[in-house]
Amino acid sequence: MSEKPEKLIDKKGLRLDGRKIDELRPVKIEVGVLSNADGSAYIEHGKNKILAAVFGPREMHPKHLSLPDRMVLRCRYHMAPFSVQERKSPAPSRREVELSKVIREALEPAVFVEYYPRSGIDIFVEVLQADGGTRCASITAAALAIADAGIPMRDLVVACAAGKIDDKVVLDLMDTEDKVGVADVPVAFMPNLNAVTLLQMDGILTPDEFESAVNLAIEGCKKIYALQKEALKTKYMNTKEEVEE
């Protein structure tokens, strides 16, 4: 891509894309976009474009992976070869395998897994275009896809990152800020239960900076949660109108 920028925040306190330090990128969410999946969602988070699909509950295949007391969640996070500047090999990389696990573990506390023993659900997350913060956007979309599949959940899960660039703690890093910046703190959050399901940190922060980053990310999560709720309700408002017609 372009060369490494010297300053990520200009004199006016604005970032490379003109955002303030505590401003989110524009988020657009749509629910129920895929007809063959039991539940699906599409999210545009800045330049990120991500599809999430959920299948199940269904019998696990292979059957020996099923557990006698609970449902198994399987997650596949995958980046399309065209999702980044340089072509990415479609084979799952080490990073994708890890993110699959991280997304699964961020969603698992929200799902009533004990309701469907010996069965499983499959979550497929496909990143069509990536621009930093895909794991957070993926969690937000996957949680909606699970709700759209009608699977009982304790709460929706919403995720957002905060980080440090040019000695300032900022919300929602994009790709360049993530690469050039000092630190990145992704947080997944259940807004009604007020519980954090994912907390990672990449880089170096002081304890104070870390705390403010986490709080900032949670504030961001709450803003995205409002959009998430609206997206889910919109789908069912529309289906209701179709029935009435």
Partner 1 sequence: MSEQKSGNIVLPGERLGVIEEFLPDSGTYVKDGIIYSKIVGHALMDLLHKRVSVYPLINGAVVPKVTSTVVGQVGNAQSDNVLVRIFKIGSKKLSGVFTGILHISDVQERYVDSMNDVCKPGDIIRAKVISEKNQIYHLSTNDKNLGVVYAFCSRCGNLLEPKRYEMICTKCGNIEKRKTPVDYGHEEI
Cα 157 from Cα 159, distance rounded (Å) = 7
Residue with smaller CB distance to partner 1, 38 or 178: 38
**Block residue for tokens 């900032």:** 216
Residue with smaller CB distance to partner 1, 24 or 149: 149
**Block residue for tokens 């997206």:** 231
Binding site for partner 1 (CB under 8 A): 36-39, 55-59, 61, 68, 110, 112, 116-119, 147-156, 190-193, 229, 232-233, 236-237, 239
Q: Nearest distance from residue 205's CB to partner 1, in Å?
A: 30
3-state secondary structure 223-237: HHHHHHHHHHHHHHH
Query: β-pairing, 168-171 with 48-59?
Result: unpaired
* Strand-pair partners of 55: 122
Residue with smaller CB distance to partner 1, 4 or 63: 63
Residue with smaller CB distance to partner 1, 28 or 154: 154
